[in-house]
Structure 1
C-alpha cells in the first residue's frame, strides 16, 4: 500500500466528492495480520471499530451508535466473527465525500459475505482485495478512473433554507425532519435553532442516543443548544414541559420517544429511517401516527446528499447489498384459491423474493434491521414460511429451530450458569420455570410474522400460523413458541391462535417499552400436559400481581411452585422470580402470616423496601434469610 498512491487517490476522491469502499477478504491468517498491521499506519484520522478490540484506539463494534451524527474521512470496521450489518449501514453514512470505508472481513465466507463481495462488481469504487498486493493494484487502478469534478455545496442548500424558514415561522408545531444519511439533517436543525431562538437567553435542550451523535447539531447551533441525556430528562419531572429537540430519533427506544413527547414540548425531531436497529418503515408507521394524534406535525424531507456528491456509488452499493430501499408493497385483493405456501431458507430465494420478504418485515416491525438479513442468510436454523399469490409474497413467517440442548449443557442452563444465543425458548423455560424437560424438546420459535398491510385483518396471519404448525408437525417439532412485548391486542391474537402464555417478564424491554412475554402451542401429545400446567402457573401468577388474589390450589400448580422454590433455595433463581410461588405455597401450607410475610404477599411492595423496612443489612442478606425460610415451603 504505497503512501504516495494512496494520497493521490484521496485527492482524486476529494475533487470528485466521492467515496471508495474497500472489502478486505483475507483467505489466510497471515494475510489478515498483514492488513491489520498496514492499515493503522496508512490511514489518517481514522475511526476504527472492531468486534474484538485489541487496543485503546479501537472502539467496540456494538457501540457504533455512539458515532452517529459525526463525519469521518476514514472508517474501518474490523469483523472477526461475522459482519455487523447494522454497524455497516449506520457508519457508512458518516464517511464524507473524499473518504474511504474499509471492511476487514472474517476469513471464513458465509452466504452474506458472498453477497457482500458479489455486489462489489457492479460499482467501480467498491473494491475487493485478499492481500496487500491486490490492494495496491486496486489503489493504482482507482487513481486512473475518470471521476468528474464536483463543486462543494453551498450551505444552507435551497432545501435546507426552505425548511429552516418553515420551522422558524411555526414554533408551536412539532417539526419532523426525515432523510437518509449525509443529507444535512443535523446541520438544518442547528441552523434552525439559531434562526428561531436568536433572542432567547437560555439554550434549547437537545437529546439523542449519545453526546457524540449530536456534535454537528451543537456546532451549528452556535451555543444556542445544550445536550441533555434522555434518561436524565425522563428523571427530572421539574423540567417537564421544556422545549426539546431530538436528533437521531430512530436510534432511541420507541417507548423513550413516546415518553419524551408526552413530557416535553418537542419542537423538532430528526431521524434517518433506513439502516440501523430500531428504524425502518415500522418506526415511521408506529411513531409518527401516534405523534399526529397528539400534536400538529409538519413533516420535512431532505433528498439530495450534501456529505458526498449525487454520483457517489457507495450509497447505491449499500442499498443494493442490504435491501434498504425496497419497492413499494403491492395493493390488491386476496384470492385464497390462488394462494400458495413455500417453506425455505432465505438463501434459496432469488433477489426479487428476498427483497419482498425484507420489505414486508421492514413494514411490519420497528425492530427490523440489516442484521436480520445477515442472520436469515447465514444461520441454517432460520426458516421462512411464505404465502404467495402468483409472484407476489403476501405473508411471511420467520421462524427458528431451537433445542434440544445437550443434557449436561441443559443442566447448566437451568442452574443459571450458561446463557446461550439462539436458544430463547428452551433457555427461558429451563431457567425461569426450572423445567429441564422443556430444554429437551425441539422447538420452532416464531421470530416474526408479517402480512401485506392491504390484506391485514382478513385472517391471513392466522392461516399463516396454521400452515406453520402443519409443516412443523411434519418436521417432528414438539411445540411452537414465540416471545414479544406484551400488549392487549397481541395477547388476544396469539390466544386466538391456540397459543398459551407461559411466562411474563418483570421489566420493560429496552426497545419496545413493553414487558416481554413467552407463549407456546403444543404440537406433540407429550408436550401438552406440561405446557397446560405452565400456562396455569402463569395465569395464577398474573392474577395475583393484578388483583392480589390467589388461585385455587391444584396438585400441578403446587408441584410447579415447589420446583421454583427449590431453584431459589439452590441459589439458581433470584427471589423476584419466585415471589408468587412463595406466597402461593405459604397460603397452601396455612403458615402464620408474620409482618414480613404480609409485606412479601403484597405484589406492589418493592423487595428492596421490604428488606430495608425489616432492617436487613442488604438485599443479599435478605435473600439469604429467605432461602433459609424456604425449606419449610418445599
Structure 2
C-alpha cells in the first residue's frame, strides 16, 4: 500500500518535473514505513535526513544545522518533526528538494500534534514561563495545511491507512526550450552555455555591467531560479579577465552555489590555478574570487575590483548601500525566502539606489530551474511559513494618520483565526526587518512571553510591534544569573545582570519592544510614536520599557524622541550587520535611573577604549540621549582648557578635563554650536573622534575631511573657545584674558 503510493507520487513528480510531499504521521515507529517509501520510489541513494534521530541510515543534519542544505539539492529530504518542529529547518529542507523529488515529513499524530511539546518549544519557554505555557498554534496551522494542500499525501502510521494520496493527476508538461545566448556578449560563451533558462541568460548578461566603475546590478528571484548560479557565472567570468572579485553573504554556506559556478567557469576556460581553499578561487591572470563576512567586506579588504552580495535581503540596507559609489557591486537576493526579507529589500534598498549616483541595472528571474513552475510544494511552503506574506497595498492605507487608526492587541488565537490579519501583520514585519524569518512566525503564535500589537486603518495593518515580557524572576534565579551571567529569553535583564553587574536587575518586570514596523507608505506620520504610546498605556504597571537594536543615528533619534535613554553600547560589531548594538530603557523607576546614570558615568572611558571605532554619528546620537550634567572642572582644569583654546596650551598633555567638558557639551539639549551660535555637526564629530575616542590627528583629519592635521587642531581650538565662553568659570575667563 505505502510502496505503491510512493511510486505513484514519485512517478507523477518526475513526469511533471514537480515535487510531492508525503507526511508520515503517528506515534508508531516510522522506520519501516520510511524504508518502504524510499525503496519503492527509488530515493534511497540521494536522500538526506533533518532531525534528532537516525533513520534508515540516512546522512543526518540536526535541525539547527539545516543550513548545511543551502546550495544543495537532493531527490529526497526527510524532515523528522517529532522531536523539534523548527520552522527555519522546514523551510531549508523544502528548498533542497529537486524537481521530480519527494519531501517526506515525519510528525506525531496530526490531531494530537498541537498539544505536544518539543525542543523548539523549550526555546520559547523563557523564565519565568514553563514549557506548559507554550501554545501549539503554529503546529495546529501546519497540520491543517498538510491536510488540505495539493500535492501532499498524508499517511496515518498508527492505523496504517492513507488519509489522502496527494496525487494531482496533472496535464502533460511540454519540454523546456533551450535558452538562447545573447547575440553580443562580453563574458565567455561558456558562461552562457551553462545557463538553464532564458532568465538566467538575462541575469548573467546584466552582470556584464559590473565591468564599468559606477555600476550596480540588482538580481531578484524566488528560490530555485538560479540567481546565485548566475552571480557565480558572472564572478568566474570577471575573475578570468583578471578582476579581483569579493563575495559576501550573511552565511558562507549561502554562497556555496556562487563559488561552485565560478569554479566551473574558470575550470572550463582552463585558467583555474590550484586550490586556494574554500574561500578563494584563483585564476591564471591574477584574477580571483574570494569571500569575506559582511562586517569585513564593507571595509573592501585588499581593494577588490568588484563585489557580489549574495542573499542581500538578509543584510541591513545601510550595509548594502555602503558599497555604492565605491566599487562595482552586484546584489543577488531571494524575494520570498527564509534567507531574508526580500520584499523589505526591494522597497527600502531601492530608495537608496534611486538617491545614489550609481548606474543601476535591475533584473528579475521568474522561471524555476530546480522544478516546474506548476510545482505544488512551493506554494504550500510559502503559505505554511508565510514566506509570501505582504502588508496591505498602498491604496488601502495611504490615508492613515494617528487620528484615523485603531489600536488592537490580538491574541495568538485571534491571529490564527484571522489569516488575513496574520498575513498583513507578519508581512509588515518581514518588509521592515531583515532578520524576520519563519522561526519568528512560530514565536509570534506560540511564545508565552510575546504579545502582538497593531495599528489598523479601516481594518488593515499599518503598524506592528512585538513585545516581550522580561524580568520578574525570583531571588534564587536572579542570584544564579548574577553568578553565571546568562538567562534564556530575557535579553535586557541578562545584559544588566550579567554584563553590567546589577544583582537586582532581573527582579522588576519590564516590556522589551522586540520589533516595531510602520508601513512604508505612511512613515514619518508619527504612527510609530502613536503605537509606542499605546503600548506604554496598556502596560502601565511595567517597571520599565526597553529595546535593543543595531545602532544607527536614525533609529537612536526615533527611540530617544519617545523617551528611551541609552544604557549600553556593545563593544563588538554584529558579524552580519556590522553595527554595534544599543540598549535603551524608558520609565520612571529606580532601575532605569541607575542604569542611565551608570552609562553616563562610564561612557567617557569606554569611548576611549572598546568603543573608539564606533561610528562617530552613532556616538553623537547616543550621547544626545544621555543625561546632561554641567562640566565639573576645577579652577586649574579650566585654566588648562582655556590655555589650549586661546593660548599655547595643549589638549594632549592633560585630556581628562577636556573629555568631561566634551561629554557635557555633547549631552546638552542644544549640543555644540559654531562661532555664530548655530548647531555644528562638524564640531561635534571633531570632539567625538579626537577628544573622546582618542584617535590621532592624522586619522581624525582623514576621517572628518580636514585637509591637514593642523587644520583639525585649529578647529578644535576654535571649538574649545565656544565651550569656554558657554561653560567657563572666572578662572577660565582670567586665563583667556591673558592672551588678549
Under TM normalisation by the shorter chain, which class is it?
Answer: 0.7 to 0.9
CA distance in 2, matches of 1:236, 1:438: 38
Counterpart residue number, 1:333: 399
8 A Cα contact 1:48 1:59, kept in partner:
yes
Alignment of 1:311-390 (within 5 A): 311-327=374-390, 328-330=392-394, 331-349=397-415, 350-390=418-458
Counterpart residue number, 2:337: 275
**213-222 or 454-463: bigger deviation:** 213-222
Counterpart check, 1:157 vs 2:221: no
8 A Cα contact 1:207 1:245, kept in partner:
yes
- SS at 2:154 equivalent: strand
TM-score, with length taken from structure 2:
0.66
Counterpart residue number, 1:57: 59
1:221 pairs, out of 265, 268, 273, with: 265
Query: Structure 1 pair 416/32, CA: closer, same or farther in 2 (3 Å)?
Result: farther
Counterpart residue number, 1:100: 102
CA distance in 1, matches of 2:33, 2:326: 50
Query: Structure 1 pair 191/552, CA: closer, same or farther in 2 (3 Å)?
Result: closer
Counterpart check, 1:427 vs 2:490: no
8 A Cα contact 1:395 1:464, kept in partner:
yes
2:81 pairs, out of 71, 76, 79, with: 79
C-alpha deviation, 1:355, in angstroms: 1.0
CA distance in 1, matches of 2:562, 2:547: 12
Counterpart residue number, 2:138: 112
**226-235 or 492-501: bigger deviation:** 226-235
1:513 pairs, out of 539, 556, 578, with: 578
Counterpart residue number, 2:311: 248
8 A Cα contact 2:293 2:575, kept in partner:
no
- SS at 2:484 equivalent: coil
Query: Structure 1 pair 9/326, CA: closer, same or farther in 2 (3 Å)?
Result: closer
Query: Structure 1 pair 381/37, CA: closer, same or farther in 2 (3 Å)?
Result: farther
Counterpart check, 1:148 vs 2:152: no
CA distance in 1, matches of 2:603, 2:550: 16
Query: Structure 1 pair 94/454, CA: closer, same or farther in 2 (3 Å)?
Result: same
1:539 pairs, out of 600, 603, 607, with: 600
User: After superposition, what is the alpha-carbon deviation per residue over 1:347-397, rounded to whole angstroms, capped at 9, x for unaligned?
Assistant: 312111111101211222111112111110111221112112221122222
Alignment of 1:395-406 (within 5 A): 395-406=463-474
C-alpha deviation, 1:68, in angstroms: 1.9
CA distance in 1, matches of 2:334, 2:22: 24
1:299 pairs, out of 339, 344, 362, with: 362
Query: Structure 1 pair 404/334, CA: closer, same or farther in 2 (3 Å)?
Result: same
User: After superposition, what is the alpha-carbon deviation per residue over 1:111-136, rounded to whole angstroms, capped at 9, x for unaligned?
Assistant: 101111111233231233341764x7
8 A Cα contact 1:66 1:212, kept in partner:
no
Counterpart residue number, 1:137: 162
**482-491 or 74-83: bigger deviation:** 74-83
CA distance in 2, matches of 1:288, 1:360: 17
Q: What is the total number of aligned residue pairs between the two structures? A: 548
TM-score, with length taken from structure 1:
0.76
Counterpart residue number, 1:180: 222
Counterpart check, 1:458 vs 2:525: yes
User: After superposition, what is the alpha-carbon deviation per residue over 1:168-214, rounded to whole angstroms, capped at 9, x for unaligned?
Assistant: 366322222110011122343344457x6597367856554226343
User: After superposition, what is the alpha-carbon deviation per residue over 1:393-442, rounded to whole angstroms, capped at 9, x for unaligned?
Assistant: 2222211112211321221111125x333211222212122223221111
- SS at 1:394 equivalent: strand
C-alpha deviation, 1:273, in angstroms: 2.9
C-alpha deviation, 1:299, in angstroms: 0.8
Counterpart residue number, 2:534: 467
User: After superposition, what is the alpha-carbon deviation per residue over 1:287-322, rounded to whole angstroms, capped at 9, x for unaligned?
Assistant: 454456263221100112222112211111122222
Larger radius of gyration: 2
Query: Structure 1 pair 192/426, CA: closer, same or farther in 2 (3 Å)?
Result: closer
C-alpha deviation, 1:468, in angstroms: 0.4
- SS at 2:505 equivalent: helix
CA distance in 2, matches of 1:231, 1:310: 34
Query: Structure 1 pair 288/56, CA: closer, same or farther in 2 (3 Å)?
Result: farther
C-alpha deviation, 1:446, in angstroms: 0.7
C-alpha deviation, 1:88, in angstroms: 2.5
Counterpart residue number, 2:675: none
Counterpart residue number, 1:557: none
- SS at 1:436 equivalent: coil
8 A Cα contact 1:71 1:94, kept in partner:
yes
8 A Cα contact 1:277 1:368, kept in partner:
no
User: After superposition, what is the alpha-carbon deviation per residue over 1:258-293, rounded to whole angstroms, capped at 9, x for unaligned?
Assistant: 666687543x33221322144332334444544562
CA distance in 2, matches of 1:455, 1:236: 34
Query: Structure 1 pair 498/282, CA: closer, same or farther in 2 (3 Å)?
Result: same
Query: Structure 1 pair 452/392, CA: closer, same or farther in 2 (3 Å)?
Result: same
Unmatched 5+ residue regions in structure 2?
A: 115-135, 180-195, 273-280, 282-288, 610-622, 631-655, 661-690, 696-740
User: After superposition, what is the alpha-carbon deviation per residue over 1:206-245, rounded to whole angstroms, capped at 9, x for unaligned?
Assistant: 5542263435523653536835232497499773133343
Unmatched 5+ residue regions in structure 1?
A: 555-579, 585-600, 606-634
2:256 pairs, out of 212, 226, 229, with: 212
- SS at 2:162 equivalent: helix
Query: Structure 1 pair 39/254, CA: closer, same or farther in 2 (3 Å)?
Result: farther
Counterpart residue number, 2:702: none
1:239 pairs, out of 282, 289, 302, with: 302
